[in-house]
Amino acid sequence: MNETNPYQSPESVEEVTSPLRDEEVPSGIGGWLILPTIGVVLSPISLLVDTAHMFRLFTDGTWEACTTPGSEDYLPFWGSLLIFEMVDNLVFAAAFTFLAVLLFRKSRYFPMAYIGIALASLGLILLDAWLVSLVVPNQRMFDHQELGGALVGAAIWVPYMLISNRVKNTFV
């Protein structure tokens, strides 16, 4: 501002700076975000390995024994359940692969896709446990460790994806 003309613009403008310098703003795949990143990368591999192990059931005589009416080991709907679990594993392997692409592209869709897949996984673990209890009612086959891991993971990482500054600054 000029002393003779109060409407004239000032000759120098004081620069306003943010209290956080750029290097202090958390962003990028680092910090706690490393842990879900590891999970996203390893999940498709783990699911495909599990599916490969299921394929053995078709070649070792288990499929015939459990799906042939009148056989000693016959279980109604066991074949349908096995196919459901294999398809479920393949779909989730594809979903986690897609999630990895979103993650490494730093897509703004990653946090919500991660939340959706985490919650869908939790729901499918419960659905699978219920279906197994219908098909094999006399045996306890529920995997408490798998459910516990999914519950704890969702309880930690869903809120993290929603409120973390690193997530907000990375996936823009």
Per-residue model confidence as pLDDT tens digits over 111-159: 999 999 999 999 999 999 899 888 888 777 677 888 899 999 999 999 9
- Residue 95, token pair as written in the block: 């979903």
DSSP per-residue letters across 84-148: HHHHHHHHHHHHHHHHHHHHHTT-TTHHHHHHHHHHHHHHHHHHHHHHHHHHSTTS----HHHHH
Q: For residue 171, which of 76, 5, 29, 53 has the smallest C-alpha distance?
A: 29
Asked if residue 67 lies in contact with residue 78, where contact means CB atoms within 8 angstroms, the answer is yes
Q: Spell out the domain ranges in the chain.
A: 27-170
pLDDT at 94: 98
Report the predicted TM-score, pTM, of the whole model to 2 decimal places: 0.81
pLDDT at 103: 98
Q: What is the pLDDT of residues 14-61, one digit of tens each?
A: 655 555 555 678 999 999 999 999 999 999 999 999 999 999 998 999
**Which residue has better confidence, 94 or 73?**
94
State percent of the chain over pLDDT 90. 68
For residue 86, count CB atoms less than 10 angstroms from its CB and return exposed for 0-12, middle for 13-18, buried for 19 or more: middle
3-state SS assignment for residue 9:
coil
pLDDT at 136: 85
Cα separation of 110 and 123, whole Å?
20
